[in-house]
Amino acid sequence: MHRSGSTWLFNTLRMIHIFDNESVYSYFFSEYDSSKGENASIHVAKTHQFDDVLDVRYDYIFTTCRDLRDIAASAVRKGIITNHTNTVVKYLRHVVSEEYENWRTYSDLEVIYEDMVHDKVCTTRDIANRLDIEIDPLVVSQAVEQLPFPEKGQPYFRDTQIHYGHITNGTPGSYSETLSSRTINKIERQFSDWLIGHRYMLKQPRMKWWKF
């Protein structure tokens, strides 16, 4: 999912293999260049949408999940969408249907954004365990945190997929600082089943309608 820690996951996967003494070619899926990766033992690709990705051979698929309200707020802060209620809801419909639900069936491990923020070392250990690789999760986590960011005006770094201004306010539950009450209420109405099913509490209780 966009704005759900996918770049952190991508770089954690890279670093786990690098610290396991593997040569790694990392790229965004649509930018794959076979000539650049021909000498690498491990390929790590990042993607959001599902389009034709499974046409290529893969060993593992890792996915991410985050509170939709925080995803929307992050997308607004990053300038991906405007801060208008209908625009936000339309964006989230796309994120859920085209990015989350399509991938969920194939996921070998789903990384929960809030767990990652709370304890990156533990999450790194879980990822390495799923790969059956023995590394020091603290060392890997520190290496990921120390990755450089482009300066303003510089292009994004292709190997890490890190952009200028990549991280905004990543605090879980901080969406009310960016989104209006109207937008939050509409998200909760439109996506109540998804939010509750993924253990995200609703700010407004779900209304019950009774017929007499």
Output the CA–CA distances (angstroms, integers) from residue 182 to 91, 96, 135, 166, in the order listed. 16, 20, 46, 27
Is 154 among the domain residues? yes
pLDDT at 133: 98
Per-residue DSSP letters for 173-189? TGGGGTS-HHHHHHHHH
Is 123 among the domain residues? yes
* CA count, 13 A, side-chain hemisphere, 63: 19
How many structural domains comprise the chain? 1
Q: Yes or no: say if 103 and 50 are a contact pair by the CB < 8 Å rule.
A: yes
pLDDT at 54: 72
Q: Which pTM was predicted?
A: 0.91
pLDDT at 211: 45
Is 133 among the domain residues? yes
Is 205 among the domain residues? no
pLDDT at 210: 42
Q: How far apart are CA 79 and CA 73, in angstroms?
A: 10
pLDDT at 195: 97
Is 107 among the domain residues? yes
Is 208 among the domain residues? no
Is 207 among the domain residues? no
- 10-residue block means of pLDDT along the chain (212 residues)? 95 98 94 90 92 79 97 95 98 95 93 97 98 98 95 91 83 96 97 97 64 42
CATH number of the domain that 88 lies in?
3.40.50.300
Domain boundaries, position 119: 6-197
Is 71 among the domain residues? yes
Q: How far apart are CA 146 and CA 149, in angstroms?
A: 9
Interhelix angle 120-131/6-19, rounded to 10 degrees, is: 60
